[in-house]
Amino acid sequence: MPITFEILEKDIAGRLGKLKAGDKVIRTPALLPVINPHLQPVTAAEMKAMGAEGLITNAYIFSRSREFREKALSLGLHQVLGFDGLIMTDSGSFQLSVYGDVEITNMETLEFQNAIGSDIHVPLDIPTHPDSDRHQAERDLEVTMARLREAKEHLGPDAPLAGPVQGGKFLDLRENAGREAGELGFTFCPIGAVVPLMESYRYGELVDVVMSAKKGIPISSCVHLFGAGHPAMFALAVAMGCDIFDSAAYALYAREGRYLTPSGSAKVQELHELPCPCQVCRTHTVDELMKSPERERLLALHNLQVSLAEIARIRQAIQDGVLWELVDERCRGHPQLLKGYRALLNHGKALEGSDRVSKRRFFYRGAESCERTEVRRFQALLDRLVLPSSVLISLDGREFPGFDLTLPFKPPFGPFMDELRETFPIGQSEIPDWDEVMVASGCRGILRLVETHRECRIVVSCQERWRDIVERMVPGIEVIP
């Protein structure tokens, strides 16, 4: 049966959805924890008990394993791992990126994935390191696309296939690869070879790569960000439109003695408290955890619970229409995440088409809030206002005779009709005391009104402290101090 994806709710480019592969259905956004049959600090049954609806394992490891190959072929993955939810299998591309070669072909891995009962099969795509040159990226992408076509031709249009999107750091290659994957009929599109960007905190580049791939991938397709596993970046990735994540980070961090939080990580021996409500943290002190012979396993349990809880928090944020607030909060946990947040705001025009029209609230949190989709959309719609011949925009609440209409002003949005005072976003926005950045943002709204209503006389009244900003942002505007 083909993979299907149903979108239920949206916020920014994030989606609440249902991903169906065969008879398995999971809610998205979702995290698929990586499980290695040979190393299981957290078992599949424990993952399910924590709320994991799906997981991912490596078909190449199974195919090369003396212990598990025949068991998987005879019993199937679900029985071997003791998990009745969705199981996705990677093809061996990870090993290919690490070791440069694997002893399996594209069709061999796909046939093996099918034989062991994987719910989502991945062709043997070629991951291109972000620092590779264009020639290498084009050559790798050509092989990847040939293998995607081969998979569709041999397994048929209804096979549960993923269509990885490669292209290195070259944005046009990413966009073209996403478009071609969609034209081939892939409804599940992982964006690959981005782990090096995340490992080196190059979140600004990550945003550009993902947003470029998203331009080509059909909006109805489920998007998987391969190898993303740190909870601090989930909200940013979901805001870009990523629906599925997978990672062994919960176990890898535990092996290094690192304790995950929603905003970062710390070496457990440097902690004085375990600031988490999970069972591990409520039943152990730092000293007890450090001395435990099961320290790695206990840390892995904690790390995975934190990661799954963050995914649940993001789903709720999408439902409530407050994903921007969560993105803002998480991305202030690290300077490079903040850089990624700002890079995402540069794609505001692309995000406007995906974002919902009305939300629960708008909290102003600083200069970045001025670039949010709600502000951009509000200002873009000011050209729809039908205005009389003379209009006063009042930044200070004053009214003067001789004007046909007085428009109130609320930064960072700008002027608005008084009838819209209780509607979104004006009525549902909370802002602190005015500052220069938010007033300048609101002046973009005034400029928009002036440029689209040239037949009107538009005058601004404001306190002296804002006059320079108004005159700088709206050249030639008449100001009443």
Dihedral sign from CA coordinates of 382, 387, 390, 393: negative
For strand 14-21 and strand 4-11, is the pairing parallel, antiparallel, or unpaired? antiparallel
The continuous run of DSSP H or E covering 80 comes out as: helix 77-81
Contact between 337 and 261 under an 8 Å Cβ cutoff? The reply is no
Burial class (CB within 10 angstroms; exposed 0-12, middle 13-18, buried 19+) of 238: buried
Residue 170 host element (H or E): none
Q: Which of 90, 119, 125, 328 is catalytic?
A: 90
CA distance 136 to 248: 28
**Residues 217, 219: Cα–Cα separation, whole Å:** 6
What HEC string does 226-261 produce? CCCCCHHHHHHHHHHCCCEEEECHHHHHHHCCEEEE
| Sheet containing 414-415: order of strands | 414-415, 405-410, 390-394, 457-461, 478-480
Half-sphere exposure of 465 (CA within 13 A, CB side): 6
The DSSP call for residue 446 is H
Which positions ≥6 away from 153 have C-beta within 8 Å?
A: none
Q: What is the CA radius of gyration of the chain?
A: 26
Whether the Cβ atoms of residue 8 and residue 18 lie closer than 8 Å to each other: yes
AA letter at 47: M
Residue 25 vs residues 224, 246, 307: alpha-carbon distances, Å? 16, 17, 20
Cα angle 71-74-80, degrees, rounded to a multiple of 5? 45
Among candidates 398, 390, 417, which has minimal Cα distance to 462?
Answer: 398
H or E, element range at 452: helix 436-452
Contact in structure between 362 and 428 (CB atoms under 8 Å): yes
Q: 306 near 276, Cβ under 8 Å? A: yes
Number of H helices, E strands in the chain: 21, 18
Dihedral angle sign, alpha carbons of residues 428, 432, 434, 439: negative
The tokens of 245 are what? 């994540």
**Cβ–Cβ under 8 Å, residues 410 and 369:** no
User: Is 90 annotated in the active site?
Assistant: yes
- Tokens (6 digits) for 455: 């037949």
The residues that are catalytic are: 90
